């Protein structure tokens, strides 16, 4: 727990930057509970509970990066303590110690320990539910299974895919051949979790367009690499200290949630590594057990030297990974830099355009960045419309507004922009026909471009904007 807290606090501000998903949490947590609920009817229902929790924390401790990320640090430290206790109960104190120390060092865990999203909380709840499961097998009592069921339900309400851990737990109990009363009690608890989650799952299925950005499994190779290391450690013999053996618990929680998401992805891509972050519980347990086995098998100073060199190499790799994860470049975008760039290149009274309109969330966390610019496509702001990015004008109105301006600052993703609706088509076609690109500034995950009307013979860049021949990525 202490190691996780220390690693979590190390560089927690990431140079005072924030990325897109965290920005959404930050913005939604500023709305009151009724607004969060109304917004969730249109979008992000799966995260509504987390937004409500963060709203209360912002009210108690103030809004800021520390308040945004510290709950994840504390949650992951709770997860680390659960991992240590699982190792202790299943294989002894040394395995518990090693597994508990390995867990916060895993790259995925380090990353989401400092993320202002729900994934660390989900991981902690699944870890403690898993501990309740193991204890419930040996100390069968209704209240223990009630605790297990409530913990799993809360995890699933924070993120629906936590329910996949139920499948792993069920396989563990079946393979362990636990007594029928235990299996029956788990079945009742699992049924309660599914029943409690079902209304949310049905309603959120109507918002499935939110995950349309997933076209291929996200960060699958990195996840598989860690999973392979963990499962390989399962080959090491582990002394059993109860009816549930450590590999029988750890392997299903690594493999099954990932496998189920990949199978579902054959119909609709759904796999993102953070959705099954709790699989790292099993990886840490198996790596801890493997390290303990290797320690016991050392018979010569040569083996000890090899082990020392390997440990130093692994530690160096983890340190380098940790340093990278605490930089703004470790995330897919940097909304702080995007907003600052818009403020830097824009002049008072310039038009502002988002390609696409969903990117409006990138600058909404700090309204000062766009205060002196006019959003050309916005008909209703995000708060009053109970949406994340607001409601845009009809396509003809957007084109007409654009033609009223001689300079437009356009914000788009780093990749190519393909129009997906009439509004986006109106934006791109009007820019192409009536404006020319004057300067583009590239930032992490986005491009900020200044466009000027063709009839302007000598456009001048705004304060701090790029000019032809200057550095900064002008095309």
pLDDT digits (tens, 9 = 90+) for 192-214: 999 999 999 999 988 887 777 78
| 165 pLDDT higher than 50 | yes
Average the pLDDT over each of 254-268, 333-347, 370-384 and give the range with the smallest value. Answer: 254-268
Collect contacts of 165-170 with beta carbons under 8 A, ≥24 apart.
165/126, 165/129, 165/130, 165/253, 165/257, 165/278, 166/190, 166/193, 166/194, 167/252, 167/256, 167/257, 167/260, 168/252, 168/253, 168/255, 168/256, 168/257, 169/129, 169/130, 169/133, 169/252, 169/253
Q: Given a cut of 70, is residue 154 above it in pLDDT? A: yes
In terms of pLDDT, which residue wins out, 230 or 433?
Answer: 433
| For residues 80-109, average pLDDT | 95
Report the alpha-carbon distance of residue 189 to residue 192 in Å, rounded. 5
Give the count of beta carbons closer than 10 Å to the beta carbon of residue 130. 29
Location of structure tokens 């160096």 = 316
pTM (2 d.p.): 0.90
Residue reference for tokens 């002894």: 92
Per the model's pLDDT, the better-predicted residue between 205 and 131 turns out to be 131
- DSSP state, residue 106: S
CA 396 from chain centre, in angstroms, equals 37
The residues pairing with 437 across neighbouring beta strands, listed in sequence order, are 451
pLDDT of residue 231: 74
Q: Look over the chain and give the mean of its residue pLDDT values, rounded to a whole number.
A: 89
| Burial of residue 208, with CB atoms counted within 10 A of its CB: 0-12 exposed, 13-18 middle, 19 or more buried | exposed
Secondary structure of residue 408 in the 3-state scheme: strand
Q: How confident is the model at residue 474 (pLDDT cuts 50, 70, 90)?
A: very low
For residue 397, give the H/E element and its range. helix 395-402
Residues contacting 460, CB < 8 A, separation 6+: none
Helix (H, G, I), strand (E, B) or coil at 449: strand
Give 52's pLDDT tier (boundaries 50, 70, 90): very high
pLDDT over 70 (residue 301): no
**Whether 342 contacts 448, CB under 8 Å:** yes
Is pLDDT at 468 greater than 50 in this prediction?
A: no
| pLDDT > 70 fraction of the chain, expressed in percent and rounded | 91
Tokens coding 82: 């659960």
């Amino acid at each position: 727990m202490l190691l996780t807290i220390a690693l979590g606090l190390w560089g927690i501000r990431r140079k005072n930057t924030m990325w897109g998903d965290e920005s959404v949490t930050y913005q939604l947590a500023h709305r009151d509970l009724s607004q969060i609920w109304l917004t969730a009817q249109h979008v992000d229902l799966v995260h509504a509970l987390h937004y409500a929790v963060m709203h209360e924390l912002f009210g108690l401790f103030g809004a800021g990066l520390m308040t945004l990320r510290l709950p994840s640090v504390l949650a992951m430290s709770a997860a680390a303590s659960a991992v240590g206790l699982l190792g202790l109960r299943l294989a002894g104190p040394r395995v518990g110690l090693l597994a508990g120390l390995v867990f916060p060092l895993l790259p995925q865990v380090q990353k989401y320990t400092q993320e202002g999203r729900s994934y660390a909380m989900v991981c902690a709840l699944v870890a403690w539910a898993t501990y309740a499961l193991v204890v419930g097998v040996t100390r069968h009592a209704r209240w223990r299974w009630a605790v297990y069921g409530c913990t799993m339900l809360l995890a699933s309400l924070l993120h629906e895919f936590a329910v996949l851990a139920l499948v792993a737990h069920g396989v563990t109990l079946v393979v362990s051949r636990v007594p029928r009363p235990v299996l029956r009690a788990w079945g009742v608890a699992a049924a309660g979790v599914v029943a409690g989650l079902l209304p949310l799952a049905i309603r959120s299925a109507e918002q499935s367009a939110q995950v349309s950005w997933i076209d291929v499994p996200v960060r699958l190779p990195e996840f598989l690499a860690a999973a392979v290391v963990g499962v390989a450690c399962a080959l090491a013999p582990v002394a059993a200290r109860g009816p549930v053996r450590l590999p029988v618990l750890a392997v299903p929680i690594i493999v099954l949630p990932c496998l189920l998401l990949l199978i579902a992805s054959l119909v609709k891509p759904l796999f993102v590594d953070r959705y099954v972050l709790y699989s790292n519980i099993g990886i840490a347990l198996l790596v801890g057990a493997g390290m303990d086995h290797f320690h016991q098998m050392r018979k010569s100073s040569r083996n000890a030297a090899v082990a020392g060199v390997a440990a130093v190499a692994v530690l160096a790799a983890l340190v380098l990974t940790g340093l990278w994860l605490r930089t703004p470049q470790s995330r897919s975008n940097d909304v702080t830099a995007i907003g600052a760039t818009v403020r830097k290149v824009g002049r008072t009274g310039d038009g502002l355009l988002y390609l696409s309109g969903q990117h409006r969330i990138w600058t909404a966390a700090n309204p000062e960045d766009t205060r002196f610019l006019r959003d050309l496509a916005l008909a209703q702001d995000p708060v009053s419309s109970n949406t994340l990015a607001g409601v845009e004008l009809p396509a003809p109105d957007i084109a007409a507004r654009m033609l009223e301006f001689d300079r437009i600052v356009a914000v788009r993703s780093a990749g190519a922009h393909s129009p997906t609706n009439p509004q986006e088509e109106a934006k791109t076609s009007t820019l192409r026909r009536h404006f020319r690109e004057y300067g583009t500034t590239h930032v992490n995950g986005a491009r900020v471009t200044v466009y000027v009307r063709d009839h302007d013979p000598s456009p001048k860049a705004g304060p701090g904007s790029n000019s032809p021949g200057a550095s900064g990525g002008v095309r």
